[in-house]
Amino acid sequence: MIKYVSAGDSHGEMLVGILEGLPSGMQIDEDRINFYLSLRQKGYGRGRRMEIENDRVKIVSGLFDGKTTGAPLGIIIENRDFKLNKTRREFTVPRPGHSDYGGTVKYEFSNAAIPSERTSARSTAVDVAAGSLLLDYLKIFGVKIFFFVKSIGEVSKDINTIDEETFEKVISNDLFSLPEMYEDFKSAVDRAIEKRDTVGGEGVVVVKNVPPGIGGYGNFSDKLDGIIAQFVMSVPSVKYVEIGNFKPGVYGTEFHDEIFSNGKRIFRKTNSAGGIEGGVSNGEEIVVKFGFKPIPTVLKGINSVDLTDLSNKKSVYVRSDTCVVPAGTLVSAMRISIALSTVFSSQFGGDTVSDVSKNFDFWLSRRKKFWQR
């Protein structure tokens, strides 16, 4: 089964990920991984650190001639500013909204800068490497993952899906925005920059081509929606996760997606369920929405206390970004890539890419009455 774990501090020498359980024979596309790493780094409203770094993945094990061997992949991303920036951060006034306070209490630090070494967004770079690497695993099943920013600050556009062509446009702008929203989103970020403040927003991930019957309901931990919720809610700054379109005022007959058949597959004309019913996919697009709070490091500071003497102080400013919604949306998509990969690998098994592919094809062929590509 595919499993993933990571280590790495924001200002350490490198980030490290271990990705276990891939089948053998899978070609690794380092260029694509590096492309996704570069996507994470760009983003209108991100701070200067992004200019310094230029993340490159290095896979130190589990490959032979560029293909997986079934052995665990060691994934390394060096922190390029490690050599540039040797000044150690130290402060004792926690930033409201960050892990500074809770982490310092938990671990009894005298330096409130330590928790964010692990919790800052920097650690998500290796998640992006793992998640984008796994896009090739998901490709065995025909699955594709698209994403876009749905709102920044008060500016929002309520759409629930995009097509591949639009997705290409989304990832070619630095706000991962639908083209028509770009200027409005940019202005929303600019207003926050002007105020020396930060701004949040919302993202959407759309997973295409997941057949019905993926996930499970044996126990709560098998449910696809619950698994996705954990992977996304634990992305830095995420405060809510939604599957589909929750609307409190609608009745059952309005909410639920009527079932039709077109001879080729069973389908819906609506997607309130967001592709998951009862913990299991239903053959429609899986639509995951999530909201990011504004990041806690604000130029003008927020009222806080000095943990050494409990006196009132403004929180410190640490080199940071104004808006992480685009990068955070990408990270959430890559977390969903990891989540889905664990679920698919558990459901279809397989030692080699050929095994996995054949297991899936056979599975699908037995269910072709209900769903075909």
Residues 195-214 that bind a second copy (CB under 8 A): 195, 197-202, 211-214
- Is residue 182 helix, strand or coil? helix
Closest CA to 340 of 217, 220, 232: 232
The binder of a second copy chosen from 243, 327, 333, 340 (CB under 8 A) = 243
251 binds a second copy (CB under 8 A): yes
217 binds a second copy (CB under 8 A): yes
Residues numbered 140-169 forming contacts with a second copy, rule: CB under 8 A = 151, 153-154, 156
295 binds a second copy (CB under 8 A): yes
Q: Is 239 exposed, middle or buried (0-12, 13-18, 19+ CB in 10 A)?
A: exposed
Closest CA to 156 of 187, 181, 186, 173: 181
The binder of a second copy chosen from 43, 45, 55, 117 (CB under 8 A) = 117
294 binds a second copy (CB under 8 A): yes
198, 298 contact by CB (below 8 A): yes
The binder of a second copy chosen from 304, 329, 332, 337 (CB under 8 A) = 304
Amino acid at 371: W
91 binds a second copy (CB under 8 A): no
Question: Shortest approach of a second copy to residue 37 CB, angstroms?
Answer: 18
Tokens of 95: 């930033």
The binder of a second copy chosen from 84, 246, 319, 372 (CB under 8 A) = 246
* Nearer to a second copy (CB atom), residue 166 or residue 352: 352
Cα–chain center distance at 124: 8
- 85's CB contacts (< 8 A; 6+ apart) are 11
47 binds a second copy (CB under 8 A): no
Cα–chain center distance at 324: 12
- 255's CB contacts (< 8 A; 6+ apart) are 247, 272
Centre a 10 Å sphere on the Cβ of residue 77 and count the other Cβ atoms it contains. 24
* Nearer to a second copy (CB atom), residue 310 or residue 373: 310
x/- contact string, 260-279, with a second copy (CB under 8 A)? xx-x--x-x---xxx-xxxx
The binder of a second copy chosen from 159, 187, 351, 372 (CB under 8 A) = 351
The binder of a second copy chosen from 6, 132, 332, 337 (CB under 8 A) = 6
* Nearer to a second copy (CB atom), residue 180 or residue 249: 249
